[in-house]
Amino acid sequence: MFKSFILFILFFKICTSSDTLTTNQSIKDGQSLISKHNNFAFGFFSPGNSSFKYLGIWYVKVTPKTVVWVANRNVPINDSSGVLIINHYGDLVLHDGNYRPLWSTNVSVQDQATNSLEAQLLDSGNLVLVQDNNKKVLWQSFDHPTDTLLPNMKLGLNLITGTNMFLTSWKSKDDPGTGNYSYKMNPNGSPQIFLYKGSTPYWRSGPWPYPSTPHKIASSSEEYNFVNNQDEISFSYSVDDPSIMTREVLDNTGLLQKLVWDDGVHRWKELWSAPKERCENYGQCGSFSKCSPDNVNRFECTCLPGYEPKSPRDWDLRDGSEGCVRRNSGFSMCKNGEGFVKLEHLNPPDSSFDAAWIGMSMSSSECEQACLTNCSCTAFSSINIDGKGTGCLAWYGELVDILQYTDVGPDLNVRVDATELAKYIRKSKGSLRKQRKLATALVSIVVPMFLVSLLACVWLAKKKKTEVKRKVLNQSLNVASTKGFFEGHELEDSSTHSDLLIFDLSCIVAATENFSPTNKLGQGGFGSVFKGQLSNGQHIAVKRLSKSSRQGTEEFKNELMLIAKLQHKNLVKLLGYCIPDDEMMLIYEYMPNKSLDSIIFDHTRASFLNWKKRFEIILGIARGILYLHQDSRLKIIHRDLKASNVLLDTEMNPKISDFGMARIFKEDQTQDKTTRVVGTYGYMSPEYVVFGQFSTKSDVFSFGVILLEIVSGRKNCDSYQKHPSQNLIGHVWELWREDRALDIVDLSIKESYVSDEVLRCIQVGLLCVEEEVVDRPTMFAINLMLSSETTLPSPKKPAFIFGSPSKKLDSVIGGASCSINEVTITKFEAR
């Protein structure tokens, strides 16, 4: 009895002070194994506020207790009855007070003399079960990671035993049970390590031999080791100074962190973590596009060379998930003069499918040749492998999850067809003129080509429907009698107008207090506009064409027909109409912030709109016009775009209004001509004023003027002290040429503007007001230019750089006021 008591004391002592556990010994609650140099301890603990007991390994010198490994993570013990022993099968077994086994190493070496086994906690934090006689390691905790990767611990696959070592998060800070996140080697293609939530990847390291994203190889005392051979595919890291305590941990929120213990402040310091930026999220941008995190205010996704957004509208709304598709996909990329465009400093695309190492020692040109000869090869990377020279990694399908770094990371060479290649070769030669020509060619050939095919698709799909509608519309527009038109049943019948209300005159009279002058908002093109409030409290704007004015009837009908068919957040919304005898009224949603001109040209109110807001307004107007030109079911030319026709809602979102002069084009029609030129001087394009020709490009001209007005806070037709004859366009052009374009910026946004964005806007504005119709970009191109960082063509000398238009126009237009102008062209038609 006494003897066994002594023995107990003895073995208790051994257990608390030693690094080994042998057969016939045990570890109970309150006892622990300590590694030789006092680095790690192994024993029972309770995490956070939990009252459950777990068996695990933690740092001896770190408080609060930092656990790096847990044995029974999913089977906690609810009291302090847990005991760990080496049983007679040679297994380390944890059991509770009722001798129920909760956890076991499961190695069972029955044929061995079990008394020669011992468990040992090493200074690396590894718990090993060894055979005493031959020192063979039967089991080690490093092969069964929980949520922490310690130095020299391997993450990956042992191809001989088939074990996969990966991290899984804890459920919570109080519960080390298996959570939903994992950090795991994916051996397919070129091996990479992924972070997964369940089975969905949400972050990816670089492909082998890039174990982690390059900025993470920060500390020089640390070495990464990525093994890829027949026996194993694994990643590990080591530190040359053993006194540095460092760990990679996957926390319970799915964040992977690299931490180092700072003894000075007694705190874990983060060296890096992932995923940190939006761009790091797996597949943030869709296939064939790359994500650039440094695009602070811009859309982070950019299509790869030779590719364009698959869904331009989503792209426009900053949703890149649809990715990009090949431009001119009809043009073969197989033995047809194709080549590669090099992109620098990337985390190359996901290499787990459709990718392969072609060779481990190949020069860049050999690699290029190898990719070129296989027509399904879409890209290649020539990657430097430490100690093995340069390897050749090639992709044969989609290019997914490409991340742009600023100054590190391998290059990616993307396959492009001959026409794209020519563009990039010339670009790299730095010829500005050619670059500009090409960009113009791109804008004027490729974009329309794309549009035409897009429209063709839409057209095919909706052919029948459209034809019916067009017929109805044409009929309506051709009806001579106003009354007959409104009495026709087209409006009521067409499903597109189903939510258009027919208001009672009495209702409108009540709402506007009998068209009280105090409720008058202004005089529109051909009628007065009144503010009103319906009995349900809704505010409305009523546009009234009085019986005395017969002039605006056409415009009024036109507006009703058009706007009823349109719906876009950047177009003003028509609620309904009211047609009492000999009168016509349109009822719109009310825009409390009035029109754009009432703010930007007013020195006291201009500061309401900071640069951010102004930029959003510019983008909104651009989207609205794009919708009119391309995305609605009709192709519509507005013809009277100007600052006073852009209304602002409560959130200062722009809404284009006044469709009185708008014209519908057939889908294949690009231009039309009129002898009755109606518009606002200062916003009208030269070909429209002079020849009566209008097209989407005349709207583009007007947009350019509005854009420059928003940036500068000045009206185009105001003259300047220095050159009284010069208008805003001329003034901006002059400053642009002198590289002083920022001088034009409105003083009230001097504090808030972002010079890159402003310069880009000014450049786009100048491109829009170019004299030659073909030189002006389409609205589609403009939307792209404003929301991406593509290189812009250099603007040419704009049209109308003087306050009064060129001399030949003096005869048709008198003064240079910003009033509505109507010109009847007779003399130029004969030419």
Q: What is the distance of C-alpha 322 from the center of its chain?
A: 11
Size of the site for ligand NAG (CB under 6 A): 19
* Residue 648: closest CA among 569, 749, 586: 569
- Choice from 2, 3, 6, 49 touching ligand NAG (CB under 6 A): 49
CB of 169 to ligand NAG, least distance (A): 8
Least Å distance, CB 135 to ligand NAG, is 17
* Segment 392 to 431, residues that bind ligand NAG, using CB under 6 A: 396
Among 48, 389, 814, 815, binds ligand NAG (CB under 6 A): 48
Q: How far is CA 54 from CA 39, 43, 87, 306, in A?
A: 20, 8, 19, 57
Chosen residue from 78, 538, 551, 791 binding ligand NAG by CB under 6 A: 78
- For residue 221, with 0-12 CB atoms within 10 Å meaning exposed, 13-18 middle and 19 or more buried, which class applies? exposed
Contact with ligand NAG (CB under 6 A) among 26, 66, 104, 390 = 104
Nearest to residue 681, comparing CAs of 561, 817, 573? 817
- Minimum Å distance from CB 371 to ligand NAG? 9
Q: Does the annotation place 543 within a ligand binding site?
A: yes
Smallest gap, in angstroms, from Cβ of residue 207 to ligand NAG?
16
3-state secondary structure of 656: strand
Helix axis angle, 755-768 to 728-737, nearest 10°: 120
DSSP state of 577: E
- CB of residue 353 vs ligand NAG: minimum separation in angstroms? 11
Of 5-13, 166-174, 306-314, 728-736, which segment contacts ligand NAG by CB under 6 A?
A: 166-174
Amino acid making up residue 466: T
Stretch that binds ligand NAG, among 102-110, 502-510, 634-642, 762-770 (CB under 6 A): 102-110
Q: Reduce the DSSP state of residue 391 to 3 states and report it.
A: strand
Binding flag, residue 115, ligand NAG (CB under 6 A): yes
Distance between CA 60 and CA 67 in Å, rounded?
A: 10
Query: According to the binding rule CB under 6 A, does residue 106 interact with ligand NAG?
Result: yes
Q: Specify the residue for token string 């009822």.
A: 587
Residue 173 engages ligand NAG in binding (rule: CB under 6 A): yes
Q: What is the DSSP letter of 378?
A: -
Q: Which residue of 44, 59, 103, 380 would you call a contact of ligand NAG, by CB under 6 A?
A: 103
Residue found by looking up tokens 């698709």 in the block: 457
Q: Are 410 and 364 in contact (CB under 8 A)?
A: no
Backbone angles phi, psi at 626, to 5 degrees: -60, -40
Position 363 contacts ligand NAG (CB under 6 A): no
Q: Which is nearer to ligand NAG, 169 or 695 (CB)?
A: 169
Q: Which two tokens stand for residue 446?
A: 């490729």
358 or 455, CB closer to ligand NAG?
Answer: 358
Lookup: tokens for 317:
């709304």
Instruction: Give residue 65's identity as a one-letter amino acid code.
Output: K
Q: Is 36 in the site for ligand NAG (CB under 6 A)?
A: no
- Output 7 or 456, the one with its CB closest to ligand NAG: 7
Nearer to ligand NAG, 179 or 679 (CB): 179
Taking CB atoms, the residue at the shortest distance from ligand NAG is: 48
Residue from 607, 628, 646, 648 nearest 778 by CA = 628
Cβ distance to ligand NAG smaller for residue 112 or 444: 112
Distance in Å, CB of 257 to ligand NAG, minimum: 17
Q: Which stretch binds ligand NAG (CB under 6 A): 173-181, 541-549, 686-694, 761-769?
A: 173-181
Residue 78 Cβ vs ligand NAG, minimum distance, rounded to whole Å: 4
Which is nearest to 669 in space by CA: 694, 688, 651, 686?
694
Q: Is 496 exposed, middle or buried (0-12, 13-18, 19+ CB in 10 A)?
A: middle
Q: Closer to ligand NAG at the Cβ: 43 or 179?
A: 179
Which of the stretches 160-168, 172-180, 227-235, 535-543 binds ligand NAG when contact is defined by CB under 6 A? 172-180
Task: Determine the Cα–Cα distance for residues 243 and 247; give it in Å rounded to an integer.
Answer: 13
Least distance from C-beta 402 to ligand NAG, angstroms? Answer: 20
Residues 243-302 that bind ligand NAG (CB under 6 A): none
**C-beta of 396: minimal distance to ligand NAG in Å?**
5
Helix (H, G, I), strand (E, B) or coil at 504: coil
Segment lying near ligand NAG (by CB under 6 A), choices 103-111, 272-280, 606-614, 674-682: 103-111
Q: Given candidates 132, 174, 616, 649, which one binds ligand NAG under the rule CB under 6 A? A: 174
Catalytic residue among 175, 316, 417, 640: 640
Report which residue type is found at 421: L
Residue 342 in contact with ligand NAG, rule: CB under 6 A: no
**Shortest Cβ 177–ligand NAG spacing (Å):** 8
CA angle 637, 640, 645 (to 5 degrees): 115
User: For the chain, how many residues are written?
Assistant: 831
**Which residues have CB under 8 Å from 123's CB, separation 6+?**
35, 36, 37, 39, 40, 242
- How far is CA 120 from its chain centroid? 51
**Which of positions 690-719 make contact with ligand NAG (CB under 6 A)?**
none
Q: Quick check: 179 binds ligand NAG (CB under 6 A)?
A: yes
Task: Rule CB under 6 A: choose which of 180, 332, 369, 453 binds ligand NAG.
Answer: 180
Query: Cα(512)–Cα(533) distance, rounded to whole angstroms?
Result: 7
Residues from 373 through 392 that contact ligand NAG (CB under 6 A): 374, 376
Q: Where are the beta strands (DSSP E) in 765-831?
A: 820-824
Instruction: Find all residues with CB under 8 Å of 508, minimum gap 6, and list them.
Output: 532, 542, 578, 585, 587
Site membership for ligand NAG, residue 171 (CB under 6 A):
yes
Q: How far is the CB of 374 from ligand NAG (least distance, A)?
A: 4
Could you give the CA distance from residue 624 to residue 568 in angstroms, rounded to a whole number?
7
Nearer to ligand NAG, 332 or 431 (CB): 332
23 makes contact with ligand NAG (CB under 6 A)? yes
- 58, β-bridge pairs: 41, 67
Candidates 7, 356, 452, 501: give the one binding ligand NAG (CB under 6 A): 356
- Please report, as a single letter, which amino acid is at residue 233: I
Min CB(416)–ligand NAG separation in Å:
18
Between 377 and 764, CB nearer to ligand NAG? 377
Is residue 24 near ligand NAG by the rule CB under 6 A?
A: yes
Among 10, 13, 36, 79, indicate the residue that binds ligand NAG (CB under 6 A): 79
Task: Report the residue number, 179 or 692, with the smaller CB distance to ligand NAG.
Answer: 179
Question: Around Cβ 551, how many Cβ atoms within 10 Å?
Answer: 12
| 473: nearest Cα among 362, 633, 326 | 633
Q: How far apart are the first and last CA of the chain?
A: 126
Q: Name the residue nearer to ligand NAG (CB basis): 113 or 502.
A: 113
Judge whether 640 counts as a catalytic residue: yes
Pick the stretch among 169-177, 532-540, 551-559, 768-776 that binds ligand NAG (CB under 6 A).
169-177
The distance from CA 617 to its chain's CA centroid, rounded to whole angstroms, is 20
Q: Please report whether residue 143 would count as binding ligand NAG according to CB under 6 A.
A: no
CB closer to ligand NAG out of 171 and 434: 171
Looking at the chain, the number of H-run helices and the number of E-run strands are 18, 49
Q: Are strands 175-186 and 192-197 parallel, antiparallel or unpaired?
A: antiparallel
Contacts of 370 (CB under 8 A, 6+ apart): 358, 359, 362, 377, 380, 392, 394
- Residue 176 binding ligand NAG, by CB under 6 A: no
Q: Which is nearer to ligand NAG, 28 or 573 (CB)?
A: 28
Question: Which residues participate in the annotated binding site?
Answer: 543
- Residues near ligand NAG (CB under 6 A): 23-24, 48-49, 78-79, 103-104, 106, 115, 171, 173-174, 179-180, 356, 374, 376, 396
Question: Which residues participate in the annotated binding site for ATP?
Answer: 543
Active-site amino acid positions: 640
